[in-house]
């Protein structure tokens, strides 16, 4: 079935000059089919870690706004610096476009929804098909 195409609709591997499929061609074809789901899974995991750091940043900003934590504490400052260093490069372009509404920054919510949509609608089908 490989010469005419596979049952799942993937393109056929071309036969070598003797009419048979070369092992290296089969290996490359199989490798391409297995690499994409693995890369999608890794991207999904990285997005999950980023979302976790984004949530830490959101909670820390609330705790700082209501004076629950002391920003001069070294441990708190370390968490703030770490979370802002990771999230600000992603949030900054959105903050340029979306203004704060009534003093409330909604860009982390928009980035959260966008990243979850990428995970659910783009990466998940690739991982499941793999």
Given a cut of 80, whether residue 64 has pLDDT beyond it is yes
CA quadruple 66, 102, 53, 127: dihedral, nearest 10: 150
- What percent of the chain clears pLDDT 70, i.e. is strictly above it? 75
Average pLDDT (103-112) is 92
Mean pLDDT over each residue of the chain, to the nearest integer: 84
- pTM of the full predicted structure? 0.73
Residue whose pair of structure tokens reads 């997005």 in the numeric block: 47
Q: DSSP assignment of 39-98, as one string?
A: HHHHHHHHHHHHHHHHHHHHHHHHHHHTT-S-TTSHHHHHHHHHHHHHHHHHHHHHHHHS
| Whole-Å CA distances, 45 to 2, 40, 41, 69, 128 | 33, 9, 6, 30, 15
Q: CB–CB of 83/53 below 8 Å?
A: yes
pLDDT tens digit sequence for 2-20: 445 555 555 555 555 555 5
Is 1's pLDDT higher than 50? no
Domain residue spans of the chain: 35-129
């Amino acid at each position: 079935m490989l010469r005419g195409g596979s049952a799942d609709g993937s393109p056929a591997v071309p036969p070598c000059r003797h009419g048979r499929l070369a092992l290296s061609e089969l290996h490359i074809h199989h490798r391409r089919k297995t690499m994409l789901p693995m890369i999608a899974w890794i991207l999904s995991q990285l997005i999950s870690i980023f979302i976790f750091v984004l949530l830490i940043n959101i909670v820390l900003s609330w705790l700082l706004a209501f004076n629950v934590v002391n920003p001069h504490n070294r441990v708190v400052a370390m968490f703030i610096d770490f979370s802002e260093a990771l999230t600000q490069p992603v949030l900054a372009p959105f903050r340029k476009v979306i203004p704060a509404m009534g003093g409330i920054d909604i860009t982390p919510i928009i980035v959260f929804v966008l990243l979850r949509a990428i995970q659910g609608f783009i990466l998940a089908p690739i991982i499941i098909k793999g």
